[in-house]
Amino acid sequence: MDIKQTPLYDFHRANGARMVPFAGWNMPVQYTHGIKAEHLATRNGAGLFDVSHMVQIELSGSGADTFFERLTPTDIGAVAEGRVRYSLFLNDAGGVLDDLMVARLDGHLHLVVNAGRAQHDINHLRQNLDAETRIEVHHDKALLALQGPQAAAVMSSLGLDLDGLRFMDIRRFELNSIPLVITRSGYTGEDGFEISMLATAVVEIAKTLLATNEVTLAGLGARDTLRLEAGLPLWGHELDETITPTMAGLKFALSKKRREAADFPGADVILDEFAHGPKRCLVGLLATGARPVRDGTILLHDGAEVGVVTSGGFSPSLDRPAALGLVDAKLADTGTVITAATRGSETPMTVASLPLVPHRYFRG
Amino acid sequence: MLKFSEDHEWAKLDDDICTVGISPHAVEQLGDIVFVELPDTGTSVSKGDAVAVFESVKAASDIYSPAGGDVTEVNSALLDDLTAITPEKAMQNWLFKIKVSDVGDLESLMDEDAYNALIG
């Protein structure tokens, strides 16, 4: 299969990016300053990420809400015009097919799904489609994420009036006469924005943001360390078809109305876990030593296997190795010490509450 | 005599002492180094043994011994400041020295031109 390029490919190369294959796309893993510098620039200032590999899908028609609810545990009727929700496509066993953002804009539902799951999601949507719903995949659009405590100031300095735009709001804007759809959201734990526009306009918008001199280009490497610290799950790591939202700490994504109706895929499994607790829970893990513990490492307690590291690496903000893992519920309390079995040695790890670095969303 | 392995180690032979490091290209590809483990002095190693570990933010990489013998010296000063491990200093930042049992071990390695051709 041919590897895909976002419309910013040449821009990345010109800015010193190291390109790597990711989910079928050729993406910048880092630029010249490296993952740690890009990570800290995002935590302290503003980082600019190309997330155009994520796929934007629009659902419209009189059946769109009902259709969306058949596949997810979201009370979509409660998502007002101009608002955004985090949601999940679920299978009948309560496993997660993908996680996504869904927004209501101009009466239509706008979805953003993971690159690596996009084809699966599109097939899933099409197979379940009804006559009252239309689906449109926006391959002609690009997506940027501007994240960090200075992101709002950067946007304002370009003349964008953010007044009243809170975390998880979506609104239309215009910059250099280019139409933009901006959500105040992201996947770093920081205040920030995701900016959707036609692919033909994204280079100009990226250059305009970079020209403020307040913005640091950041690659997928920093995006991963930022979301790990923020305790945000990544499909294929903290989420997959065998991991339920209750295990992954996503109870907030199960709308009360939908729980009461028990009418979403996998509701029996998920509601049982909701009431009695899941067998395994997602936790943060901090190693006592300096050596990172990586994805897939088995976790032990008293010699028995009690979990697995789902994302392991290094936290630039904490300046120490950090990980996310699924562990047996009885060992998920903060402060519990468990053992990571790493390549011939054993590393003690302490369970830490999530997020590892506090979220700083702008709630107005 | 300076040689390079396919795994991006460099090896410099003076008499029967082989000094080993990793190439500028390897350091650049690793990115920010967050953890390094070096062998202990006195360890006996065979050609191809994983004898050191470099961990970056993203991944772990084993460092393989380009020759068999005994580790005679280890550059533990490197561990004091991992940020000093840069592509620019990669040819000075040796990791360990081996008293080589058979200098023939190094014959299969590449010279600098061949290595540069490999990494393009």
Distance from the Cα of residue A215 to its chain's centroid: 21
Neighbours of A276 (CB within 10 A): 10
Predicted pLDDT at A261: 98
The angle at the Cα of A112, spanning A110 to A114, to the nearest 5 degrees, equals 160
Rg (CA), chain B: 13
Best residue in B25, B32, B51 to probe A by mutation, most A CBs within 10 Å?
Answer: B32
The domain that holds B56 is classified in CATH as: 2.40.50.100
| B117 inside domain | no
Expressed as residue numbers, the domain containing B72 is: 2-101
Taking the Cβ of residue B60 and every Cβ of chain A, the question of whether any pair is shorter than 8 Å is answered with yes
Predicted pLDDT at B33: 95
Segment A221-237, tens digit of pLDDT: 999 999 999 999 999 99
Q: Give the 3-state secondary structure percentages of chain A, helix then strand then coil, rounded to 5.
A: 25, 35, 40
Q: A208, A206, A235: which is closest to A218 by C-alpha? A: A206
| B93 inside domain | yes
Average pLDDT of the residues of chain B: 95
Average pLDDT over residues A194-209: 98
With a cut of 70, say whether residue A69 has pLDDT above it: yes
Whole-structure pTM value: 0.95
Tokens 């496993």, located at residue: A95
User: What is the total count of domains within chain B?
Assistant: 1
| B108 inside domain | no
Contact A218, A148 (CB under 8 A): no
| B111 inside domain | no
Interaxial angle between packed helices A64-71 and A118-128, expressed in degrees from 0 to 180 and rounded to the nearest 10: 120
| B120 inside domain | no
Alpha carbon distance, N-terminus to C-terminus of chain A: 45
| B16 inside domain | yes
Which CATH homologous superfamily contains domain A4-55+140-229? Probable tRNA modification gtpase trme; domain 1 (3.30.1360.120)
Q: At A342, is the pLDDT very low, low, confident or very high (cuts 50, 70, 90)?
A: confident
Q: At A344, is the pLDDT very low, low, confident or very high (cuts 50, 70, 90)?
A: confident
With a cut of 90, say whether residue A288 has pLDDT above it: no
Segment A84-123, tens digit of pLDDT: 999 999 999 999 999 999 999 999 999 999 999 999 999 9
In chain A, which residue's Cα lies nearest the Cα of B62?
A343
Could you give the residue range(s) of every CATH 2.40.30.110 domain in chain A? 279-364
Candidates A18, A34, A291; nearest CB to B32: A34
- CA dist A11 and A8 (Å) reads 5
Assign a CATH topology to domain A279-364. Elongation Factor Tu (Ef-tu); domain 3 (2.40.30)
Strand A4-5 to strand A25-30: parallel, antiparallel, or no bridges (unpaired)? parallel
Best residue in B58, B86, B88, B119 to probe A by mutation, most A CBs within 10 Å?
Answer: B58
Predicted pLDDT at A1: 64
Predicted pLDDT at A89: 98
| B119 inside domain | no
- Sheet of strand A47-50, all strands in order from the earlier edge strand to the far edge: A170-175, A178-183, A192-198, A141-147, A47-50, A216-217
Nearest-neighbour CA in chain A from B95: distance (Å): 18
- CA dist A148 and A168 (Å) reads 15
The interface predicted TM-score (ipTM) is 0.86
Candidates A37, A313, A321; nearest CB to B58: A313
Candidates A225, A290, A291; nearest CB to B57: A225
DSSP A335: T
